[in-house]
Structures are given as structure tokens and as C-alpha cells.
Amino acid sequence: MAHPDILISNAHEYIGQEIGVTDWLDIDQMQVNIFGEVTRWPTWMHNDRDRAARESPYGGTIIHGFFLVSLITYFVRVGGIDPADGLHSLNYGMNKVRILKPTVIGDGIRVRDRIGLMDVVDKEAGRRLFTTSHLIEVDGQDDPAAYVEYLNYWVPKES
């Protein structure tokens, strides 16, 4: 469910609602390994399948919490909640981030995002700061893996 009717100009009408649920996204061990390399955090619990199978309390490698969080901007885009009257947005940060449980990669996982609109703050020149909530779910797990409150600063198209 996405709300393609959300505009910068009317976003306040959607506060308190779930405004999007993304499709499932496949993530595998190779992606986790690459994330570990580019972030300079290729630790054994994330990237060494053999050692993690032997020594990890989780029974295998786990996805980086920051990997899940880094998907937020992708989820916003594919979730269909970009306002049609928006020229572009800027990442304004996050209010709250919680990694709620370790997620074992195994042969791969599928994740998706449930997006809610928490707040809209008016800024200068018709710009608005959106605060969205994100529950990142893993296929087959009962509870979300992560929760994020994301701040997205929207600039409107010229009228």
C-alpha cells in the first residue's frame, strides 16, 4: 500500500498513517561481505560463514545493522511515497534507530519496509521536513529487525 497522492503541500493530512509497504528485497551473503568491505567493518560475525557457523551464538553470519538502516532511502523511493510536487529531497538525519534483533543471513534473506508518516514541519519557501517511521521486516521472522525514524527534507518544484 502506497499513497501516491501525498504531496509536499498536503502531507500533513497523512500524519499518523501507514503510507507505504515496499516489496520484498533479496539480500545475500555477497552483499553483506561487500557492505563490510566498503564500511571497513568486515568482522567475522558478519563476513566469515565458517567461523560464524562454529562460534556465533546465532548459528551463522548476521547482517550489519547499519546495512538495514542504509536501505531507508531506497525504501522511501521504491515505496512510492516521494511527493509528486517534490523537486528533490535531502537526508536530514534520523531521530531514532534501533536494531531490534540479529538477523542470520544463511542462504539469503528478504526484507521489506512498513513506512508511516509521523510528522511534517513547515520550512522556508514551501519546503517541508518529513519524519517517517520505518519497520524493517525480515520474511519468516515474527518481529521487525529494525526501527528507524528518518528525517527527509523536501524541496518543492517551482510553481
Interval 54-100: pLDDT, tens: 999 999 999 999 999 999 999 999 998 899 999 999 999 999 999 99
- The CATH architecture that domain 11-156 belongs to is Roll (3.10)
Q: Report yes or no: 14 and 80 within 8 Å, Cβ to Cβ.
A: no
Please give the average per-residue pLDDT across 111-122, as a whole number: 97
